Chains A and B, each alone.
Chain A
Amino acid sequence: MTGDFLALLEKGPVVPVSAVGAGPTALQATTVFAFHCAEGVLIAGDHRATAGNIIFSDRTEKILELDSHSLMAIAGVPATAFEMARTLQTAFEFYRRSQLQPMTLPAKLRALSKLLRDNLPATLQGVGAVAPIFAGVESRQPEAKPLIFFYDPLGAQFEAAAFAGSGSGSGAIKSVLHYLENWGHPRPVELPLAEAVVLANRLLMTAAEFDSATGGVRPEEQEFATLKLLSRQGARTITRQEQTRFWKDSRRD
């Protein structure tokens, strides 16, 4: 009666991948990032999944709601990442229902860290590495603000002061965000939602310019990034209609 869903699963690691030696080229998914804006944390992802130089899909959803107060952005091998997200979704809800209280933010962070560590064999074999971003807010504390964390593929967890990025296209995005955070007027953390949404799409278009594994964002054709906002009230999706409106408004300025 510990509320531990993983303990219910009978066999060892939740994401067992036991490939030995060189296997087929793994699917990968990039680019995701998150930054603080005036209304909370905006977390964004492109839509492209690649296998080597092959574009496998341009419609991949990489920003996943784990529960009403937690978001995960996945970069790396989708098969492993989606299974991790599904495990966490079930584990968080199982804990909340069985223990009659929500899991704390540190416990959620720890749960993701443990899954990454359990995935170590696949990571070392090069077929299942995942480097996610986690955004969460402590639902039990009325004054708590949403926070951003990023992980290395072995499970180490770091809190991001202003932004975090992961995936092959994240280098360009982190460079721009670093510049804006230090010398921008306004800084990303000061941007209202509409401007933050436009910035997120432009950042992904910039990354796609230099990274072939980033794509699927074409605002002129109403194909936008996956964007979710995490605020004190919880997580919500920024819809295509909202993004279209914000994008059009930005073009008028």
Chain B
Amino acid sequence: MIEEPYRWLEAIANRREYIGERLKSGTPVFALSRPEGILLLGVGQGQSKVFEIYDRHAFGALGHPVDIEKIRQAAIEAAHLEGFARSARDVTLRRLISFSLSSTLKNAFEQVFAPPLIVEALFAELGDSPAQDSLVRVHYDGDHHYETSGVLAAHNEFQAEAEARDWIRSVLQPSDSLMHAAGICLVAWQALTGKTAFAGLTVPRKPVLQVPGKVVEAALLDRHAPGPVHYRALDLK
């Protein structure tokens, strides 16, 4: 099949369609760069969507739990080998994504005779200040981009994802508390999963931090943590 370019292109197109279908049941995850650190938030049904990768690195994803786990393990292994061989400060998202994860995802996507990785992800790297934070959006085919606005979402519909990102950026103030920022993410989560428009969407004065029947999972890469490990789970109750 791969000797015939048309059939290969058709196989790739079918693969995109298949992955898109499988991702439809996924729900979005968010990462916000804040003065306190980087806030990550996802909503699941018992399975985690937000994870610690290394001292200053975290990961959020939607997709097939097994594939999320594969990417998570690959990222953790690459980060720890790098940190052990060199130093913790040498573990950077730029190297992790460019030289390890992105090529893994691209290879998996283009091996048309093997099952693809069904995962849409975001990665976060904590800097000394919000301006030095790195947020990276990584797609199932290895394509990725760096987000410089301090607000990032990962979802299964890219247009809606961009609208959510723009809306969060427009309503989020630097002085907002972490809980308020989490509440904004949850409003965006409800809009994305309910497929409602962002135009005219308002944020309640008192943030709603629960979703009935689901588990809201939030974590902070804490900029002011005293030791080398900056990741901690946040209790939103």
Contacts and interface: CB of A to CB of B under 8 A. Distances in A.
B81 A98 contact: no
Given A8-B81, A68-B227, A90-B84, A97 B76 contact: yes
A22 interface: no
Contacts of A218: none
A232 B142 CA distance: 44
B160 interface: no
Interface in A73-124: 86-87, 90, 93-94, 97-98, 100
B51, B83, B84: most-surrounded residue (chain A CB, <10 A):
B84
Contacts, number: 32
B83 A90 contact: yes
Interface of A: 1, 5, 8-9, 65, 68, 86-87, 90, 93-94, 97-98, 100
A5 B73 contact: no
B48 A90 contact: no
A97 B84 CA distance: 15
Chain A residues touching B, majority SS: helix
A98 B73 contact: yes
Contacts of B51: 97, 100
A1 B80 CA distance: 14
A205 B186 CA distance: 59
Interface string B63-96: 0000000000100110011011000000000000
B168 interface: no
A5 B77 CA distance: 8
A8 B227 contact: no
A165 B215 CA distance: 49
A195 B197 CA distance: 65
A68 B229 contact: yes
A237 to B, nearest CB: 10
Contacts of B109: none
Interface of B: 48, 51-55, 73, 76-77, 80-81, 83-84, 227, 229
A97 B52 contact: yes
Contacts of B83: 90
A90 B87 CA distance: 11
Contacts of A87: 84
A8 B227 CA distance: 25
Contacts of A94: 76-77, 80
Q: Shortest 9 CB-CB distances between A and B: which pairs?
A: A90-B84, A94-B80, A98-B76, A97-B52, A97-B76, A90-B80, A1-B73, A8-B77, A8-B81
A93 B229 contact: yes
24 contacts: A1-B73, A5-B84, A8-B77, A8-B80, A8-B81, A9-B84, A65-B227, A68-B227, A68-B229, A86-B84, A87-B84, A90-B80, A93-B55, A93-B80, A93-B229, A94-B77, A97-B51, A97-B52, A97-B53, A97-B54, A97-B76, A97-B80, A98-B73, A100-B48
B61 to A, nearest CB: 15
A1 B54 CA distance: 17
A4 B93 CA distance: 23
Given A65-B227, A90-B80, A98-B76, 4 more contacts: A8-B80, A90-B84, A93-B80, A97-B51
A94 B76 CA distance: 7
B226 to A, nearest CB: 9
A241 B84 CA distance: 32
B227 A5 contact: no
